[in-house]
A = this chain, B = another copy of it.
Amino acid sequence: MNYSIKNYIQQGKEIVEQKLSSLYTDTNIPENLKASMEYSLLAGGKRLRPILLLASYHSFKKTDEAKTLRTAAALEMIHTYSLIHDDLPAMDDDDYRRGALTNHKKFDEATAILAGDALLTNSFELIAEDELLTAEEKVFLITELSHASGPEGMVAGQVLDMEGEMSTLSLEELEKVHEHKTGKLISFAIIAGAYLGNATETQLTHLKKFAYYLGIIFQVQDDILDVIGDQEKLGKPVGSDEENEKSTYPNLLGLEGAKNHLSAYTEKALQALQEANIEQSYLEQLLYYFGERDH
């Protein structure tokens, strides 16, 4: 891996985590609720979505990321709420995430449900009260974020994923699940960063395509890692998808087929990125990073 992009990712992670850890210092949130929200929000993770948002913004030769930080934090809060609710007994019933107890195991189910609700609700307030954005910018970002994470976005993906567990999906159906479940938020990251970086309409159109492929790439790589990954680095057991007879790219296409699919989509993503005609290479480097990561 390229040292500089690794460094770039690490710096982005630190900036985002500093923002996240400062969110609830001066608030009037009941102690236990705040502890539950922060337990999951500050539990580490790759911070890929906010880093993508920063990288998309930086791609437009913007150097001061202050303007993006509340939106980046809001995006991570929505991702975090979705993990908390996804882990609940009624959903995936997971006891561990990233090597630590899931929220409802650390606290209790009721608190976990409410912590998720609180993070989701508060994400919109965070953007609405951002002093560095104009009212028009706030409305654009809130519209895009709520659409990406709502019943036609991420929540649709969760439902399609649940329904898909009862049958074997076609490649097209599997792609639809991932487009919604993870793709929509990844797409928001790219669009929000580019919009704040003053991208043109044409650039936004090409970057939406790029984001679509990137979202799929992310998921194909996740599926491949579940087959060949290192449990230690992943922080979760491998082989669980096959055990659960889940529809995955390796199960549908074979391991080599999944790898070929990854390469083909990487090509398509690169082409969309070239057509967007932006000068900085952060997004290209992150694309390669996605394709080569080991956790």
Contacts and interface: CB of A to CB of B under 8 A. Distances in A.
A53 interface: no
Contacts of A230: none
A151 B118 contact: yes
A264 interface: no
B150 A125 contact: yes
Contact of A139 (B108, B109, B135): B135
Interface in A75-96: 81, 85, 88, 90-91
Q: How many copies of this kind of chain does the complex include? A: 2
Interface size class of A (residues with CB under 8 A): 35 or more
Given A118-B151, A138-B135, A146-B122, A156 B29 contact: yes
A284 interface: no
Interface stretch (A31-39, A54-62, A232-240, A287-295): A31-39
Contact of A129 (B109, B134, B143): B143
A278 interface: no
Nearest to A151: B118
Given A33-B156, A121-B155, A125-B150, 9 more contacts: A30-B163, A32-B163, A81-B117, A110-B162, A114-B158, A117-B117, A121-B150, A125-B146, A139-B139
